[in-house]
Structure 1
């Protein structure tokens, strides 16, 4: 609920402070007095796109502050939470526009963007008038309006869930088809490459092992001859020389008085060490023995691994992984037909579930549309439009997360006349009454929103204007309605009354707004009835209107 509106240096308003109340608040005044400026100022602080030049001539900046009550369950609290702003019981919006055109906004003294203001405004205020493109005249919002009237939250949630599942199933099928198509495009390469890798059957670490074996065999060919000569020298010459020396010394040892004992012992040890050396050399020779064809086989295998690795531009040790990857892609290709069939079945099931949920939502909407048409028709009769026809048209549209229904409110002002969109068929006065009747039927649950009607009674008078006023008062019951009006019948039904006036002070035109007491209300309504010259008859008629 809008509690206060403070305006400084906006257009022809120098400073203005308004304290609005629950119920029906009416604003009256001469044409051009500045009533629409109040709405411009309120729209500015709510982030609406409006006039480009708002700052009063000669001022450096203009400012608007709006104060709203915020009950604990008000939807504005969710918007504030998403924006990272704290929510109090009072919401204060402040927006400044400099003479250079720079705009700055605050929400409860925290800087905020125009986008956050606009999202908040959707929960705080509804503006209705003959040129309103944000509310009931906008066909893009008619489906949501019908859903709110119908109470289709459960059905729409089911449709959104089914749509998500359908979308995922469709995406999975598309991706699988693309993968199979890509695989088929390289099928010949895959089959050849996999066969080539299967024939070679590379193993991790094999290239290094082959390279070591090759180097060992190449080295063996170069050193085996020298090791063989060494073996011959050790086993034949050295062994013979030590043996001969030992026999000669043993024959002379008896006459040497023990002087040869130590040399003989050393020769014995040398013979043992020589035997071990010969054995080790023989073992080495055995290890260096290989079939020349083994070297050829090893080199062929090594060169084949390296050539295939170069072909695929990877390291030889990665060939085994490549083999597994290409084999997997080939298997996926071979399994592709069966996999696509499963995904097609899953998509068909998801589409069937979506169609069923969308059909249930459509049925609920069509039933609600009939109820809404009857309710609006009942409201049109007191507004002197009993011959007019309001109809909620539902046509099939492209499927989506909100179902497959296109909803539009249409009217025919006379029986047999063609129906069409609200803002195309109805005249100004008729349109106002259509909007009012529709809003009365849709107002249930909107008590937290301030409703503003901008000259919605234009073009009507007498009993029809009285009926408009009574509908507005009904809407305001338990809530808040602001109405800019030229109708004395409507003004008389207001719970609170402000008069907007324009005056010239110090060669400058300014607009003022005055809260009227009972006597002042009588005079203002008499002026609305009689014009510039207020007669006793006009005052009597004003008193009669105020008396109800």
Structure 2
């Protein structure tokens, strides 16, 4: 629901701030007074295209701001999240759009900079215009089908169908990818397999490669390792021999002085340790002597690993990933026909189920179309179309789509003897607006749009028909906030809020003002009397009071 609107420097309007309530709001004023200013402001906030010529003469910038109560509107909240815009605080959506004469315009949504496209997407959720030159949601057959499905209570069945349809379409995409994928020649497959075999032969596990690198390093340093080990072993033997010569003197000393016996024991242990070191160095020297065939195997495996690492590396993990990719690539080539047969079977079974679901959707749509058209025709009669006809054509399509295999089209004939035509072919904007009013009234519960704006809905009607239009607008306002620009006092008198648009002129300037008059009984009576023909006429005044009293 629109709560607040601020307009600055739009067309002939200087500045105004307006508060709105729920229900039915009428906007009146003399022809040419500038009632379109209010509609223009709402159109800007709905994201529609505007020209810089709407900026008030002498001003550099036009600004329109609004706050809307949207608590509970799940779709709008999801859209804000999808657009990465701030959520509504306390259920209030804040919109601001400015148009500058010399610079680009600016859009803000809940305080964040946004695009006109984002504003337009949000506008589709909260406002719908019905009048000359304005976009009409119900003109588009996809929207007509959506409303018919809601009227026919098809939501659950349609969601189930669409989930299966998406799965079915995914199967066909998978089959197409298999059919168009590049096939390997026997030579290419053989080459890839040789690459896999080479990688497997070298065993690219972390442990295996670490051991290979250790072995290769030892092989590469085998000669130096043997020489150094021999030198160390020889030195240990010499140390043992020298210590043995010293040991004889130490034992003789111990016989003379018992306190020297411990020293002789330590020297004996030193000899044993030196002899052990000599043996171990000799073993290490002999261990560095690789068997020729073993040495050749290590060198060849290391060379293979270095080639593989340069080609697929640089890490063992990368090499293993490439091997797995090659395996998958060959595997995908080995049973393409078998995969296609399985996918075609699954798609065929799913298509049978989809056609049954689509048949049921069509049956429900046919029944819903009959009921909806009957209610719309009854209401159109009340709105002045005595000989009009309205129907909903449900058409069957050859192929399945995301909405089934049936679509619909709303058709209308305003006069007897004229053929039924699509809504967008209706010539008269007044007729169009009344058809929209009838459909909106019937679909009030189905259409979640918060604000409905009608312009020229009362064109070419008056008297009882005008009163009927007003009653339907008031009834529609039970489910929506309704704005109506009207020339009929019968319509304006039924509004909960009444705004008057007036134009003032002097020698140098022309200005437009908008003010609320329903709280001022005398002023509203005067305006209704003017609409009846003469605000100074007693009979017009009396009639105006009667209209106000009948609400």
User: Normalised by the shorter chain, which TM-score bucket?
Assistant: 0.7 to 0.9
Instruction: Give ranges in structure 1 of 5+ residues lacking alignment.
Output: 216-279
How far 1:509 sits from its partner (Å)? Answer: 0.6
Separation in 1 of the partners of 2:37 and 2:385? Answer: 32
How far 1:536 sits from its partner (Å)? Answer: 2.7
- Secondary structure, counterpart of 1:56 in structure 2: coil
| Residue 98 (structure 1) aligns with | 100
- Secondary structure, counterpart of 1:136 in structure 2: helix
| Residue 521 (structure 2) aligns with | 518
Indicate conservation of the 8 Å contact 2:52/2:101, yes or no: no
Q: How does 1:391-402 map to 2 (within 5 A)?
A: 391-397=391-397, 399-402=400-403
| Residue 477 (structure 1) aligns with | 478
1:91–1:324: structure 2 CA closer, same or farther, 3 Å change rule?
Answer: closer
Separation in 2 of the partners of 1:195 and 1:106? Answer: 62
| Residue 4 (structure 2) aligns with | 4
1:177–1:78: structure 2 CA closer, same or farther, 3 Å change rule?
Answer: closer
Separation in 1 of the partners of 2:340 and 2:40? Answer: 59
Q: Is 1:55 the counterpart of 2:58 in the alignment?
A: no
How far 1:86 sits from its partner (Å)? Answer: 3.9
- Secondary structure, counterpart of 1:444 in structure 2: coil
Indicate conservation of the 8 Å contact 1:411/1:426, yes or no: no
Q: How does 1:292-303 map to 2 (within 5 A)?
A: none
Q: How does 1:426-465 map to 2 (within 5 A)?
A: 426-444=427-445, 446=447, 449-465=450-466
- Secondary structure, counterpart of 1:85 in structure 2: coil
Separation in 2 of the partners of 1:76 and 1:198? Answer: 58
Indicate conservation of the 8 Å contact 1:413/1:426, yes or no: no
TM-score (normalizing by structure 2): 0.73
Indicate conservation of the 8 Å contact 2:440/2:447, yes or no: no
Q: Which shows bigger deviation, 121-130 or 154-163?
A: 121-130
Larger CA Rg, structure 1 vs 2: 1
| Residue 499 (structure 2) aligns with | 498
Indicate conservation of the 8 Å contact 1:526/1:541, yes or no: yes
- Secondary structure, counterpart of 1:151 in structure 2: coil
Indicate conservation of the 8 Å contact 1:492/1:525, yes or no: yes
Separation in 1 of the partners of 2:331 and 2:131? Answer: 66
TM-score (normalizing by structure 1): 0.73
How far 1:483 sits from its partner (Å)? Answer: 0.6
How far 1:68 sits from its partner (Å)? Answer: 2.2
| Residue 175 (structure 1) aligns with | 177
Count of aligned pairs between the two proteins: 482
Separation in 1 of the partners of 2:327 and 2:91? Answer: 66
Indicate conservation of the 8 Å contact 2:196/2:326, yes or no: no
Indicate conservation of the 8 Å contact 2:70/2:92, yes or no: yes
Separation in 2 of the partners of 1:69 and 1:326? Answer: 59
How far 1:38 sits from its partner (Å)? Answer: 0.9
1:5–1:523: structure 2 CA closer, same or farther, 3 Å change rule?
Answer: same
Separation in 1 of the partners of 2:18 and 2:290? Answer: 109
Separation in 2 of the partners of 1:121 and 1:90? Answer: 15
- Secondary structure, counterpart of 1:528 in structure 2: helix
CA deviations 1:294-349 (Å, max 9, x no partner) are 9xxx99xx8xx99xx99xx899xx9x999998787666544332222112112212
For the aligned residues, what is the CA RMSD? 4.5
Q: How does 1:14-163 map to 2 (within 5 A)?
A: 14-73=14-73, 75-82=75-82, 83-163=85-165
CA deviations 1:20-41 (Å, max 9, x no partner) are 2222211111111110111101
Separation in 1 of the partners of 2:73 and 2:449? Answer: 9
Indicate conservation of the 8 Å contact 1:29/1:500, yes or no: yes
Indicate conservation of the 8 Å contact 1:198/1:323, yes or no: no
